[in-house]
Amino acid sequence: MILEITQKYLRKEMNRIGVHPDSIQIFEKKQNIIPLKLFGVPFPAANIIKQEMLALGGDAAVHKNVIDGKVERSDILLFGTKKHYEGLMEKLSKMPFFGLLEIKKDLEEFFNKKRIELLISPWGRKVYLNNTLVMGIINVTPDSFYPESRKKSVEEVLAAAEKMIEEGADILDIGGLSTRPGSEPVDEEEEQKRVIPAIKALRESFPRAFISVDTYRAGVAQKALENGADMVNDISGFSFDERILDVVADTKAPYVLMHIKGTPKDMQQNPFYEDVINEITAYFYEKIQAAADKGVDPEKIILDPGIGFGKRYEDNLEILSRIRELKSLKKPILIGHSRKSFIGKTLGDISPEDRLEGTLAITAMCSLCGVDIIRVHDVKENKRVLKMLEAVKCQMYSSPLEAM
């Protein structure tokens, strides 16, 4: 009899077999192929890496003309276990040429850097990132794409917040400016009139709630944080108002950096990508460095690939299918998919009111892929999906004795 074992259960199976405890970590380094991509490697270095990986028992895919030097640079796809990569780093450490030491440093950072485990607000409030968190959407706008999320008064905001907190929301996201496709922005004064009273009332009524302000304007972010908000959620990745970086740097507030192509008014007018994941990744690398140069703590940054913001239908699906790749950046990942148009298209051009089941399917997938925060309209239903999945994952990660 032969049985293929689920990767997450290998440690339990080794314990059942009776493997020596000191050997378990050695075997775990051999159990899982980790495909890594290196970009723009000079052809001599690409040849060396290819040969070294083969010698170690791994492999590397390079451009077909690397071997004869007919291309100056090549991307590389590495195929190896943790053990193979440890061997490669050891070999590269003795090669101070062709940029190989820099590649070794990048590999070390990839394997050794730890993702942050909690978000701390300027006020000292905390949320822990040990499970997928639910961010509940509260829009103080008359024109958000999903009518049920629109709140016309402070009283409606408080009622919605109370319901979401009872249903298990970890974060409340308050926005006063619609960013649906084709929307026109209101002026900053109007946005503040909508958002600031709502945040003041929320902070007074729910002193322990973790509140996010959904804005790309520095002035609104500053006022919101002064009045008790804990986090800034910027759909523009500081492209619309770079001064927001000064606010984040000064207050040390957690900051959601989202990818967008264009503006809400024009972002869905024929967006195009040759490689959507690579382009988003390059955008994040550039933006994280620029934010750090402005004094923003990189450990305060959460990344959002911007589902539906300057993306085609197929782009949204590819991003979701490749979420694990974005986790290579070692930053918390936020996904805002709730009731969006790509769900409606998939399910037969249905309206936002009928997109709950599709939303829950994506939520389940996000949980299994290790997404840190999901931004949704329907807290109770999404929270229940996550709770069920966490129960299954706890079984997968429990000790061998607990599993028996």
- Nearest-CA neighbor of 198 among 163, 216, 231, 224? 224
In 3-state terms, what secondary structure has residue 27? helix
Pairing label, strands 211-214, 171-175: parallel
| Residue 117 buriedness (CB in 10 A; 0-12 / 13-18 / 19+) | exposed
**Of 11, 151, 375, 383, which is the active-site residue?**
375
Ramachandran quadrant class, 331 (left: phi over 0; alpha: psi -120 to 50; beta: rest) = beta
Is 375 catalytic? The answer is yes
**Of 50, 340, 355, 383, which is the active-site residue?**
340
For 339, the token pair is 């009731």
In 3-state terms, what secondary structure has residue 134? strand
Question: Dihedral of CA 59/64/65/67: which sign?
Answer: positive
Q: How many other CB atoms sit within 10 Å of the CB of residue 109?
A: 10
In 3-state terms, what secondary structure has residue 384? helix
DSSP string, 278-335: HHHHHHHHHHHHHHHHTT--GGGEEEE--TTSS--HHHHHHHHHTHHHHGGG-S-BEE
Question: CA 127, CA 391: separation in Å to the nearest integer?
Answer: 20
DSSP string, 162-221: HHHHHHT-SEEEEESS--STTPPPPPHHHHHHHHHHHHHHHHHH-TT--EEEE-S-HHHH
Is 340 catalytic? The answer is yes
Phi, psi for 38 (deg, rounded to 5): -105, 145
Q: How many other CB atoms sit within 10 Å of the CB of residue 137?
A: 25
Catalytic residues: 340, 375
